[in-house]
Amino acid sequence: MSKTAIITGATSGIGAAFARRLAQDGYDLVITGRKKDIIQKLADDLSQQHNIKVTVIIAELSNDSDFNKLADAVKTREDIEILINNAGYSGYDRHFEEVDIAEHEKMVKLLQVVPMRLVSLIVPGMIKRGKGAIINVSSSASFLPISTVSVYGGSKAFLKYYSQSLWQELKDKNIKVQALCPGFTETNFGKDYYSKETYQKVKNFMRSPEKVVECSLSSLKKNQPVCIPGISTWLVAKMFPVLPWGIYCWMGSRMMPFK
């Protein structure tokens, strides 16, 4: 019987790395993205290399009509084994008050509401079949409040908490749930957010998307609710929250992409 993985935001970076790895493992794919030429090439390459079926949905998932295109493509499928909520973007190179509230709401919708909608759509089938896995891509920013990423970091913190709660709810139904919390990763995400100078400074600390995916899937096999790839990211996540608030804020300010 076929098995399918749903991956949002699969055009590049972590999403594309998940697509390549799961295609290698024999999964049919339903992938979403906004850059048609790039994601279609990925789909064509994977289908030819691994003899799998790849369905491409071109969508801005914060738009309800685009989300419904994805919903229509997956709601009747009975072979969905993995859902990876990866779609997102890095934020803004401006302070909170300089960004229109509609843009903040768009980010909250994409990072919080869209994953919940997909989980609600797909989990009943997983429960019926008695197996499944959900990976919600959160961030190391979910552990460290930084003033210039208030909405992004807050949304990712929600996604981590939500995933941990889901893990507790679904573990007895043989459904695994993971909050994946990568730190600096070699993707367009960082290039879009940081200046060229800052990006070069942090590049040496970055992990490849492939290493992030390997860590995630290894953690998933162990049914761990939170995956933090890399020792440096793990230390940030575990040590920063216990520091005195003044030191915590000072260290957070050092990580700001702009002042």
CATH (domain of 123)? 3.40.50.720
CA 258 distance to own-chain centroid? 24
Q: How confident is the model at residue 7 (pLDDT cuts 50, 70, 90)?
A: very high
- Tell me the mean pLDDT in the region 180-191: 73
Residue 130 domain-assigned?
A: yes
Instruction: Provide the number of structural domains found in the chain.
Output: 1
Parent domain of 189: 4-254
Residue 224 domain-assigned?
A: yes
d(CA 216, CA 182): 9
Q: Are 32 and 20 in contact (CB under 8 A)?
A: no
Residue 152 domain-assigned?
A: yes
Q: How confident is the model at residue 169 (pLDDT cuts 50, 70, 90)?
A: very high
Q: How confident is the model at residue 76 (pLDDT cuts 50, 70, 90)?
A: confident
Residue 18 domain-assigned?
A: yes
d(CA 238, CA 89): 25
Residue 161 domain-assigned?
A: yes
Say whether pLDDT at 259 is over 70.
no
d(CA 75, CA 157): 28
What's residue 70's pLDDT? 97
Residue 259 domain-assigned?
A: no
Q: Which residues contact 101 (CB under 8 A, 6 or more apart)?
A: none
Residue 9 domain-assigned?
A: yes
- Tell me the mean pLDDT in the region 72-96: 88
What's residue 55's pLDDT? 97
Q: Per the residue annotation, which of 92, 152, 193, 194 is the catalytic one?
A: 152
Q: Which residues contact 189 (CB under 8 A, 6 or more apart)?
A: 13, 88, 89, 90
152 part of the active site:
yes
Which two three-digit tokens encode residue 96? 């909170």
The more confident residue out of 241 and 107 is 107
What's residue 143's pLDDT? 80
Residue 55 domain-assigned?
A: yes
- Tell me the mean pLDDT in the region 133-155: 87
What's residue 194's pLDDT? 59
